[in-house]
């Protein structure tokens, strides 16, 4: 299913999943843009549409397994795997390292696509890909709904549906902090319905 980048951005904006303001990212950086991909994935038909478009970018790789880091990659891994009739796995952090639990396994030489909802620094997908390779399987690539620039530094090809270049700052260099703009932790954002504005104030 072909979906343009403009259409993907429209779906994010309609779901209030693309926010503008002053945000604390999981990396510790501050940014003027935040993507709450879980909001766009809460509609199963939209999730199917996006994951079908993502799967189309990797048809020729013929992955037999799709894996995503918890928690952002869980829904994505399941739906993309369904498009391929592949197995769907997720990796999770335990004692500071990425692992496979819950009876999941990878066999040597299996072809694996790593997916995540949003790539910011690339740390989660890199750790997941490293785990796949440590278990003897092959990473065919990385797919994501949105790439904030972190996909460029990965050792595997990365293909996303939406590419953004938001401004990101270390806390001590953040101009919005100097201006006294309140810093928002995205997990503390109030839910907003379809009729609400798109601002990021909690």
CATH of domain 5-188: 3.40.50.2020
Q: If pLDDT is split at 50, 70 and 90, which confidence band does 202 have?
A: very low
Q: If pLDDT is split at 50, 70 and 90, which confidence band does 108 have?
A: very high
pLDDT, one tens digit per residue, over 25-64 is 877 889 999 888 999 999 999 999 999 999 999 999 999 9
What is the 3-state secondary structure of the chain? CCCCHHHHHHHHHHCCCEEEEEEECCCCCEEEEEECHHHHHCCHHHHHHHHHHHHHCCHHHCCCEEEEECCCCHHHHHHHHHHHCCEEEEEEEECCEEECCCCCCCCCCCEEEEEEEEECCCHHHHHHHHHHHHCCCEEEEEEEEEECCHHHHCCCCEEEEEECCCCEECHHHCHHHHCCCCCECHHHCCCCCCCCCCECCC
pLDDT, one tens digit per residue, over 59-93 is 999 999 999 999 999 999 999 999 999 999 999 99
pLDDT at 170 over 50: yes
């Amino acid at each position: 299913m072909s979906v343009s980048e403009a259409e993907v951005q429209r779906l994010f904006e309609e779901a209030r999943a693309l926010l503008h303001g002053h945000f604390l990212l999981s990396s510790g950086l501050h940014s003027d843009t935040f993507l709450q991909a879980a909001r766009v994935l809460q509609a199963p038909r939209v999730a199917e549409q996006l994951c079908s478009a993502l799967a189309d970018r990797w048809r020729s790789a013929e992955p037999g397994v799709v894996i995503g880091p918890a928690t952002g990659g869980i829904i994505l891994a399941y739906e993309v795997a369904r498009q391929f009739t592949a197995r769907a796995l997720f990796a999770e952090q335990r004692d500071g390292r990425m692992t496979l639990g819950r009876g999941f396994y990878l066999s040597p030489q299996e072809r694996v696509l790593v997916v995540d909802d949003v790539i910011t620094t690339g740390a989660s997908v890199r750790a997941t890909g490293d785990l796949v390779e440590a278990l003897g399987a092959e990473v065919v690539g990385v797919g994501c709904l949105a790439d904030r620039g972190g996909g460029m530094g990965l050792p595997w090809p990365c293909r996303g549906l939406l590419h953004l270049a938001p401004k990101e700052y270390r806390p001590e260099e953040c101009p919005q902090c100097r201006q006294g703009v309140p810093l928002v932790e995205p997990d503390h954002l109030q839910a907003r319905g379809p009729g609400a504005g798109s601002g990021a104030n909690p």
